[in-house]
Structure 1
Amino acid sequence: MTSKRGAYIFALIVFAVDQLSKWLVTGPLGVRALGDQKVLLPIFNLTYVENRGISLGYLHADGDTGRWLLVAATTAIAIGVAWWIRREDAPGERIALAMILGGALGNILDRARQGFVTDFLDLHFGEWRPFLVFNVSDAAISIGVAILLIRAVFVHKKPANTETTHA
């Protein structure tokens, strides 16, 4: 998994798990219309939401122009992340980037196919919801970004081997 090829495979696994989870929720579990909800635990529901924006619902795009601009922008970002994986030597960063890439691909496919991203994971504590309703792709992207930030702050790369001459 620490190889570059392994990172791309992991990205495809994240993508597949995201798409499978969306199919399970909207298909066999029947949570497929706005407002549909299934209570799984006192703090966790499956709640159907159509996200027409990007992170936290910003850049809301109802029309075709906005939709395809979001698809193009997120595809460009996904291509950049795929390129970064190819150039990255640190296994930790490759894993994080693979999570981001796989998540981006899942949400890109939703938006291109449906015009919105299907969200359904609803974590709450009473009425307090620390997150908006999200999906597996969103979680993978968020965790990947968090890993990159944590590694940037706490994991210091060794400087290039510099030899000093002793006189």
Structure 2
Amino acid sequence: MSDSGASRTRLGLIIALLIFVADLATKEWMLSLIFDPPRRIVLTGFFNLTPVWNRGVSFGLFAGHQEWVPWILSAVAVVIAAGLFVWLRRARHSLLAVALGAVIGGALGNVIDRLRFGAVVDFLDFHISGYHWPAFNIADAAISLGVVMILYHELFLASGQASGEKE
């Protein structure tokens, strides 16, 4: 791996670590603030802190109360994160490295929740006119933003790299 390849890998890993730590820290804070005892904190007319245990993946998909569900979801997330790490080591653009790091850090943050609690700690609740977006956390936001950046990279930047252009 070239020095610039190593620096992009390092960048992605730093982003992953920052997301992971921020996610775990905010979840610990919210566990004591709004989960015990459960309560909603209204911050604005469109944003609350609301305690939600998500037993599935995005939007509660694949939620189940069987003991093995968190383990299966965690194993899948770890395998995906490992694959993304391999991709990160090959990344030729800093944007892609940041995006992959964001997804890796977010995925691993949610894995910790599933292994600790059997569910993911969600608490960010945005709403308008009585309609609520499903509650989420820092990890979920990082994963979503990372996926958007990956798509942007692959659709608009990767073709230039294939012809030999670099960052």
Per the TM superposition, whether the score is higher than 0.5 is yes
Rate the CA distance shift 1:16–1:159 in 2: closer, same or farther, 3 A: closer
Native 8 Å contact 1:31 1:48 kept in 2: yes
Alignment of 1:81-120 (within 5 A): 81-120=84-123
TM-score (norm 2): 0.88
1:4-153 paired onto structure 2 within 5 Å: 4-27=9-32, 30-32=33-35, 36-129=39-132, 131-153=133-155
Q: Which residue of structure 2 aligns with residue 164 of structure 1?
A: none
Alpha carbons of structure 1 residues 62 and 92: separation in structure 2 relative to 1, 3 Å: same
CA 1:67–1:134: 2 relative to 1, 3 Å: same
Query: Structure 2 counterpart of 1:142, which letter?
Result: S
Instruction: Say what the alpha-carbon RMSD is for the aligned residues.
Output: 1.8
Give the conservation status (yes or no) of the 8 Å contact 1:34–1:50: no
Change (3 A) 1:34 1:48: farther
Query: C-alpha displacement at 1:150, in angstroms?
Result: 1.8
Per-residue Cα deviation, 1:18-39 (whole angstroms, up to 9, x for no partner): 0111111122xx2005862100
User: Percent identity at matched positions?
Assistant: 36
Q: Which residue of the partner structure matches residue 160 of structure 1?
A: 163
SS of the equivalent of 1:124 reads: strand
Residue 84 (structure 1) shift: 1.2
Aligned equivalents of 1:90, 1:77: Cα separation in 2 = 20
| Preserved contact between residue 8 and residue 91 of structure 2 (Cα < 8 Å) | no
Unaligned runs of 5+ in 2: 1-6
Which amino acid is the alignment partner of residue 136 of structure 1?
A: I
Max radius of gyration: which structure? 1
Q: CA 1:34–1:120 in structure 2 vs 1: closer, same or farther (change >3 Å)?
A: farther
Rate the CA distance shift 1:31–1:89 in 2: closer, same or farther, 3 A: same
Structure 1 residues 57 and 110: alpha-carbon distance in aligned structure 2, compared to 1, 3 A threshold: same
CA distance in structure 1 between the partners assigned to 2:135 and 2:152 by the alignment: 24
Q: SS of 1:106's equivalent? A: helix
Give the unaligned 5+ runs of structure 1: 162-167
Q: TM-score, normalised by structure 1?
A: 0.88
How many aligned positions are there? 158
Which residue type is aligned with residue 5 of structure 1? Answer: R
